Chain A
């Protein structure tokens, strides 16, 4: 390669143009790949962080509270044999977390009727949730984590706030009496001023003793892995629950227990789906532009090659006249362009790696580099591959 570097050094602008073109192609591919990766990360983050709930509802999906959910269904969420028969396919717990449930039972306190409500968490009762209208004032040493425990305490209406404990009597198959320590008082208006809130465990114990079974009035959970929601529905959910049908048409269940599904399971994943769909769309856009850019590398290479070989026609002809074979003439042109392209690609990769810190898409970049070189080679072959008289016409 006689005087390759010397000649490159003496046409800095043309070399710079080649380096910039290569860097632009590589930078665009790397940048679009970074965009694609960023969408992937966002999708992962959405799947990981966006809480998606499922809840047992009526068939129309219009009501998720005040239901009469039997023990077998409760057991699907809790996997506790005390609540009902267990099912071999019961693997709900592999898919869900943060089960939120409410159960209620009628009780008497000093001959007055009260509703005893058992909660797994404060949010299981809409009226106690944020903005629900009722505020709890806890006694010393207690807070809302009380509901997730199994203590026999209770939160009473303001009217019973002076009591240290209450004795409840529940009449079922058997009559059960229990003493509950008052650990908090609630204020606020509503139609449940005769409600007493306890832990889920405490009310379940009373209910199991009184009726030998439990029913839940609401039952919901959060998915532990949002990517497995469809799998959950296919493998587990659809075996026990109907899908929500706005028409509320009973759907055949086909098990001996019931002819039709008694409940539906609503999965509140609309936000997840729309967010992921939008991110996926952006990712596809980045991918398509990345592929277009890779294809354009071929065109860029060809156009650049045409420009450069056109400007060097006399030089190429002279090399041929002085005895360089056509293949050596092409090799020399290619060696120069390859050096400049690699410099451009290296520059773009280095800068972008330093700026965004992700590993470049080596395969795509290799394809783009190859495409650019092939494009240039086609141009070089067109320029040098002519018959001798045509090649040397400019000099002769």
Chain B
């Protein structure tokens, strides 16, 4: 469970300060797919970074299973509980699809053979063609690369999946497939899946949709 308590985040540079999030409070539950919408610069991606422990709130707290992300080892958090999927550049360019999917297991020191066996199973679950298991990312389409990234999330066993525009560079058919997989991930694996998107069709399939306007959550559906 993710709890945001009065979270604010301010970007500072030499000349000015910009408030990306202002006093956001919200609770994300397990087993649900959330869509976060909003115009560019509204603070959607910042929110994901804060939950992933890649940024620390300027004010307020982000609690993951009751632990404040500012006080715990954020790397361990991402290794054990959180997976992040971006629009692109999700995969190691020199590792095959199978090796990319197995990566979270190998960093947890799972024996190589076992990790690769589990990775293959996860790749099958996201319906990647078996002949592509040994392919490098540059040989995969955008949709196939996103499937590998989701398979990596499955292999890691993360209960929180943060996806930043995962369908942004995909055609409609591939985009629908990815959303369907994410939906299954939330409902079947009981994961908390938060998707930042501009695509209303993604929002339609979400269990809850939040809209961020000027750094605050304006609407909940």
| Interface of A toward B, CB cutoff 8 Å | 2-3, 6-7, 10-11, 314-315, 318, 320-326, 328, 388-389, 392, 394-396
Contact of B94 among A11, A322, A396 (CB under 8 A): A11
The answer to the question of B129 belonging to the interface, with a C-beta cut-off of 8 Å to chain A, is no
Q: Which of B72-120 contact A (CB under 8 A)?
A: 73-80, 84, 86, 89-95, 99, 103-104, 106-107
Closest partner residue, chain B, to A324 (CB atom): B107
Contact partner of B80 among A318, A323, A394, CB < 8 A? A323
* A6 CB contact (under 8 Å) in B77, B80, B95: B95
Q: Does B167 contact A (CB under 8 A)?
A: no
Interface residues of B (CB under 8 A from A): 45, 49, 52, 54-55, 73-80, 84, 86, 89-95, 99, 103-104, 106-107, 136, 152, 156, 164
Complex-state Cα separation, A2 to B101, whole angstroms:
12
Q: List B contacts of A6 (CB < 8 A).
A: 94-95, 99
Is B75 within 8 A of A324, CB to CB?
yes
Point out which of A3, A6, A314 has the most chain B C-beta atoms below 10 A from its C-beta. Answer: A3
Q: Is the CB of A322 within 8 A of B106?
A: no
Q: Which 5 A/B pairs are nearest by Cβ-Cβ distance?
A: A323-B79, A2-B106, A323-B78, A10-B94, A325-B75
- Chain B nearest Cβ from A236, distance in angstroms: 75
Closest beta carbon of chain B to A276's beta carbon, Å: 57
Total A-B residue pairs with C-beta atoms closer than 8 Å?
A: 70
A-B CB contact pairs (8 Å), 30 listed: A2-B106, A3-B92, A3-B106, A6-B95, A6-B99, A7-B92, A7-B95, A10-B136, A315-B92, A315-B93, A315-B94, A318-B89, A318-B91, A320-B75, A322-B79, A322-B103, A322-B104, A322-B152, A323-B76, A323-B79, A323-B80, A323-B104, A323-B107, A325-B73, A325-B75, A326-B75, A328-B107, A388-B74, A395-B86, A395-B90
CB A191 to nearest CB in B, in angstroms, measures 94
Task: Chain A residues near B49: list those with CB within 8 A.
Answer: 389, 392, 396
User: B residues within 8 A CB of A3?
Assistant: 92, 95, 99, 103, 106
